[in-house]
Amino acid sequence: MAEKAPVIAIDGPSGSGKGTIARRVAEALGYHLLDSGALYRLTALSAARHGVALDDADGLAEVARMLDVRFDSDEAGGERIWLEGDDVSVEIRTEKAGAGASTVAAIPAVREALLERQRAFQRPPGLVADGRDMGTQVFPSAAVKIFLTASAEERARRRHKQLKDKGLDVSLAALSRDIEDRDRRDTERSVAPLRPAEDARILDSSGQSIEAVTQTVLDWVAEL
């Protein structure tokens, strides 16, 4: 059997900068990119559209299995995400979608339903996968596993700026509370909780520029 394409797994809590770093690293290496959080956000969004309640585990798993989604980019290289033919690129980044994602993500049947869809992203020449359980569950034999963190204050500030840049208005205090709640839910859930893989390297991005963090990841990849 042909050797599988290498995976760089980048896990960590909300606002740690995973999304930005994963995108930069994928661009630098010419690798594919998996934004696994988007799949949980899309599941929550699709459930809301179809009137499936957030406590209906079977219904949510069915929604996850049937997700009709397309990942794309616009001319400026910005992300474009389509759900059932509609552009939901901005809608899935709202805190509401994030909280819904964190809720559906605690349901084992939903995680199971999304597993193969995520693994299908592993294609040559390689994949950068961003999430909470990339190194522990989805790609346990990833070539490089990184757990990216930052202080809670810095994560709230970054998220605030990111949302503002997208034209979404939300208070920093409310955002800090949301992030704390979400961290707690993601860390304490019984299935695939947020934690570093045993063989992950921890990278604290507090006070570091995007360029510096990207370079550290690329240096670790080059050590392979």
Q: Segment contacting ligand DC (CB under 6 A): 53-61, 62-70, 72-80, 97-105?
A: 97-105
Q: Do residues 88 and 81 touch, judged by C-beta distance below 8 A?
A: yes
Among residues 16, 24, 32, 36, the one that binds ligand DC under rule CB under 6 A:
36
Residues 3-22 that bind ligand DC (CB under 6 A): 14
Residue with tokens 């010419």: 30
Enclosing H/E stretch for 24: helix 18-29
d(CA 221, CA 224): 6
d(CA 130, CA 134): 7
Minimum CB separation from ligand DC for residue 43, in Å? 9
Among residues 9, 16, 186, 221, the one that binds ligand DC under rule CB under 6 A:
186
**18: three-class secondary structure by DSSP:** helix
Count residues binding ligand DC (CB under 6 A): 14
Q: Answer yes or no whether residue 31 interacts with ligand DC by CB under 6 A.
A: no
The CA-atom distances, in angstroms, between 137 and each of 24, 170, 217 are 23, 33, 21
Q: Do residues 183 and 15 touch, judged by C-beta distance below 8 A?
A: no
Q: Segment contacting ligand DC (CB under 6 A): 73-81, 99-107, 145-153, 205-213?
A: 99-107
Q: Do residues 138 and 120 touch, judged by C-beta distance below 8 A?
A: no
Minimum CB separation from ligand DC for residue 98, in Å? 5
For the chain, helix (H) and strand (E) counts, in that order, are: 8, 8
Among residues 22, 24, 29, 133, the one that binds ligand DC under rule CB under 6 A:
133
Minimum CB separation from ligand DC for residue 216, in Å? 20
Among residues 16, 46, 102, 205, the one that binds ligand DC under rule CB under 6 A:
102
Q: Which two tokens stand for residue 192?
A: 């695939």
Q: Answer yes or no whether residue 40 interacts with ligand DC by CB under 6 A.
A: yes
Query: Site residues (CB under 6 A) for ligand DC?
Result: 14, 36-37, 40-41, 98, 101-102, 105, 131-133, 182, 186
